[in-house]
Amino acid sequence: MQGPLNELPDWDLVERAQSDDMDAFAEIVRRYQVPVVHFCRRMTGSPEDAEDLAQAAFVRLHRYLHRLTPKAKFSTALFGIARNLTLNFLRDSVRRGRGKTQSLTREDRTQVLIEDEAHRPDHAARRGEIEELLEKALGMLSPEHREILVLREMQGLDYDAIAKVLVCRKGTVRSRLARARAQLRDRLHELGGGLI
């Protein structure tokens, strides 16, 4: 007897979803919606675009469910889909004349500050300033460097998983990540964040 859906491993859910179990697919979406939206938001800088891209990623996942096989972690396949959609969106945005992506500052920053204010307002304000500076610096990076930082530092993927998502070698991940971190440090310094 199988346990509740929320206790099943990812690939067991995929197997059920491949057999038209919509509850299993809904559990996949519930499990990964926040991380996928977060990834897309960090890449585009737009909460609305991130929601649209995450939805498109899950639609595409559902369309190609029958092709998925448990060769790697499920999250690797899902983030690969989200990455491809996001990069296509960013390329199309430039072609449509939207120019650079929007600033990546958190729009809900005031809510976080109000929520934390009861503890230490000075710390909350400083965290907000640092986060805003970091988001702005991230927005100045190329999509290639931004995505690798988001996958590693914010999504917590290991080098093997990142290599699979980006379809490159592990050594490429290491060198690209080193360059991305160096560029982020330079952007932070340019923005006056040398005191972070």
Long-range residue pairs from 123-132, CB within 8 A, at least 24 positions apart, any chain: 130/193, 130/196, 131/106, 132/105, 132/106
What integer pLDDT is reported at residue 59 of this predicted model? 93
What CATH number does the domain containing 176 carry?
A: 1.10.10.10
Identify whether residues 90 and 14 lie together within a single domain.
Answer: yes
What CATH number does the domain containing 37 carry?
A: 1.10.1740.10
Using the 3D structure, point to which of 82, 102, 122 is the last residue of a domain.
102
Domain that holds residue 161: 106-196
- Are the C-beta atoms of residues 73 and 10 closer than 8 Å to each other? yes
Using the 3D structure, point to which of 102, 129, 155 is the last residue of a domain.
102
Domain count of the chain?
2
Of 82, 74, 80, the closest CA to residue 25 belongs to: 74
Identify whether residues 30 and 18 lie together within a single domain.
Answer: yes
What integer pLDDT is reported at residue 56 of this predicted model? 94
What integer pLDDT is reported at residue 108 of this predicted model? 41
Of 152, 159, 184, the closest CA to residue 173 belongs to: 159
Encode 120-140 in three state secondary structure: CHHHHHHHHHHHHHHHHHHHC
Identify whether residues 35 and 131 lie together within a single domain.
Answer: no
Identify whether residues 118 and 174 lie together within a single domain.
Answer: yes
Query: How do the pLDDT tens digits run along the chain, 196 residues long?
Result: 356 888 899 999 999 999 999 999 999 999 999 999 999 998 888 889 999 999 999 999 999 999 998 888 899 999 999 999 999 998 887 766 554 443 343 344 333 333 333 345 555 565 667 677 778 888 888 989 999 998 988 888 889 989 998 989 999 999 999 999 999 888 888 887 654 4
- Are the C-beta atoms of residues 157 and 151 closer than 8 Å to each other? yes
Q: Which residue has the tokens 């891209």?
A: 53
- pTM for the model stands at 0.66
- Are the C-beta atoms of residues 193 and 136 closer than 8 Å to each other? no
Using the 3D structure, point to which of 84, 102, 120 is the last residue of a domain.
102
